[in-house]
Structure 1
Amino acid sequence: MLATALGFALGMGSLDVATANHEISQHIKGSYPNVGYQGIAGLGYGGVRFSSDRCKPQEDNFVADFDAQLEGYLGGKPGQYGGAWPNGIRAVRDVASPCVTSSITSSTDFHWDFMTASEWAAAGHSAGYTGHSHSDIALSSWCAARNVSYPCGYHPTRIHINEPKYAAYTKAYKTQFFLHESAHGMGFRDYCGHDSVSNNGVLCVIGDGYLPLDRNMLRWQIYG
């Protein structure tokens, strides 16, 4: 969740943002199959499918940065992920989904849900905040259709976005926003103990995306 302290207030307690200690329980929500996405749990092909009800231009920048930051060893990063995800983890637009509110399909992992000011208020979100992440545990029927046991991660994650506040951001910040929000579906909390994609822009400066620490957390803690 970007621009909200709710993640810290509920379940994380007080957090000294200056601490150098890396507290795993505060950095991630848990491990697969209780968090994250089934599509990358096999450690082979790492595809994460997303949709949007607006298809903003900065979503393309998000895809480029997401793919570059989570590149695998076949993309020129020797030793990345200990041999898992050789082609990296990829963000793939769910092409079957039009840019409308109802664009979540059976294959969608996460969805950008842009809201007008009135829709944002009706959802119970504070006008001062920009993003709010909602992750649902995949239904047992969805897991069975993919021949995996239940539970099998999130399906889908919906990211509510306060469109008027989002519109005021710079292009670069919008990309950082998308990267940060995508991390919640991948299994990360809001976190300020180290530079990370989890840095939420409230208790610490928003992160530049997925850093080496985050890649290690993905491989060895969330999907390990």
Structure 2
Amino acid sequence: MSFLTGLDDTPSDFPFPSVSQALKDPDGLLAVGGCLSVPRLLNAYQHGIFPWFSDNDPILWWSPSERAVIQPHALYINRSLRKFLKKQPYRVTLNTAFEKVIHLCATIPRGPGNGTWITDEMVAAYVALHHAGHAHSIEVWQDQTLVGGVYGVLVGQVFCGESMFSLQANASKVALIALRDHLTPGGLALIDCQIESQHLSNMGAITLAREDFIQELAVNTQVIPPHFLQASELNALDIGN
């Protein structure tokens, strides 16, 4: 049975309803209200749930019936992108400019009529997650200018990507490849892309049924060693090779 659960009067560590109760229309809507505290967000991601809402809307919690994911070994780099990477056009860092990445993801126009879902409330929540050691970013630089990046939440061995941006050619792709290359030796098992898109499909994303994605979360619970997550500059020679 599907029905919508209200969370406004529940404590931040109150368990979410089973994802099997998520609505079919709109697909995956599970709960409304509550807060974006660190405990609430961690509880959500550990159970395959994420917040997604617009300004002036209540907090909406989702667990879609299908989940777009990239298996690290299956991330696709086409020939032209490989040639681009060999030129080493960018400098890449990890966790050195999280707030800049999320603010750029929130403010860069996505096309006519497309507002942002990364509200001020969401920015503050994910910055708090970052300071708590759970949210991470990859930054792509051209000289001293930030031109691309990706940020998300690490749940065990699963990186739940939230958003990415690109101000120069292939910058967001470089960020995603660098994320894969850097974290895979530490045990990265899956990149959660949440919602399918043509851009992600072109890079190897596939869809998993919700039940299969929840199973991936359940079996990939080992913690990636902390030294893989320390703020650092990544070796551009290694990206995509």
TM-score normalised by length of structure 1: 0.29
Greater share of strand residues, 1 or 2?
2
TM-score normalised per structure 2: 0.27
Larger relative contact order, structure 1 or 2 (CA cutoff 8 Å, min sep 6): 1
